[in-house]
């Protein structure tokens, strides 16, 4: 389906073309990181729509649906920004039910959500399959952290300075903008633009 051309869609088409230059056949994962309330989910949804427009099978997932339960987080000590940054997400489940089976391709099924943080409850797993050629677009806080960054084929960081305490810790440990394939200033959502960081 052809999207209505707007400055945002035009920008995303250019970014999608850059991503697809690295995409031949098989499975590919695009990850989008950024500070709290930087618009990661909307950006991922819109990028996914453009990739679909380009004729690709696209799946969406968010780290919000891979939280640890409050009880599981309590095993790591008192509630604090540091605990949330280090242990707030179930990265083992992310790898086990989504990333690894998605990478296998073919008829191997995978799950794009396991937990509802608003209800602090597990979601009944919905196993899905896709064609051998497919793209997964994943958004979430801390997805470009050092222990996860190598899982992704193309890495996008939304620009912005961390203000939430957990983000401050994350950026001190490793600024996602420095690990990104592309840094995007999305503070004006209707007119996103690329940022090219000074490497000097």
What is residue 24's predicted lDDT score, i.e. its pLDDT?
63
Is residue 82 within 8 Å of residue 169, measured between CB atoms?
A: yes
How many angstroms from the chain centroid is the CA of residue 105?
A: 19
C-alpha distances in Å from residue 186, one per residue of 41, 71, 133, 157: 12, 35, 29, 10
What DSSP element (H or E) covers 11? Answer: helix 7-21
Domains of the chain: 7-187 (3.40.50.300)
Please state the pTM of the whole predicted model: 0.95
What is residue 117's predicted lDDT score, i.e. its pLDDT?
95
Taking only the tens place, the pLDDT of each residue in 11-29 is 999 999 999 998 767 899 9
Q: Give bridge partners of residue 182 from the DSSP assignment.
A: 156
Which regions of the chain are under pLDDT 70? 24, 198-200
Q: How far is it, in rounded angstroms, from Cα 112 to Cα 98?
A: 6
What is residue 42's predicted lDDT score, i.e. its pLDDT?
98
What is residue 5's predicted lDDT score, i.e. its pLDDT?
98
Strand 193-195 and strand 121-122: the pairing is unpaired
Q: How far is it, in rounded angstroms, from Cα 166 to Cα 84?
A: 7
Radius of gyration of the chain (CA): 17
Q: How far is it, in rounded angstroms, from Cα 175 to Cα 182?
A: 13
């Amino acid at each position: 389906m052809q999207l209505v051309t707007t400055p945002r869609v035009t920008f995303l088409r250019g970014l999608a073309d850059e991503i697809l230059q690295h995409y031949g056949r098989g499975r590919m994962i695009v990850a989008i990181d950024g500070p709290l309330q930087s618009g990661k989910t909307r950006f991922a949804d819109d990028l996914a729509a453009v990739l679909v427009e380009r004729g690709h099978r696209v799946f969406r997932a968010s780290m919000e649906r891979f939280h640890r339960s409050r009880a599981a987080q309590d095993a790591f000590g008192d509630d604090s920004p540091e605990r949330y940054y280090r242990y707030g997400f179930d990265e083992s489940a992310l790898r086990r039910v989504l990333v690894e089976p998605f990478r296998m391709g073919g008829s191997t099924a995978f799950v794009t959500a396991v937990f509802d943080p608003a209800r602090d409850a597990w979601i009944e797993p919905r196993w899905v399959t896709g064609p051998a050629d497919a793209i997964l677009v994943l958004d979430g806080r801390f997805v470009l952290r050092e222990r996860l960054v190598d899982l992704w084929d193309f890495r996008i960081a939304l620009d912005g300075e961390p203000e939430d305490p957990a983000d401050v810790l994350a950026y001190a440990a490793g600024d996602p903008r420095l690990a990104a394939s592309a840094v995007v200033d999305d503070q004006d959502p209707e007119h996103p633009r690329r940022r090219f960081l000074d490497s000097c």
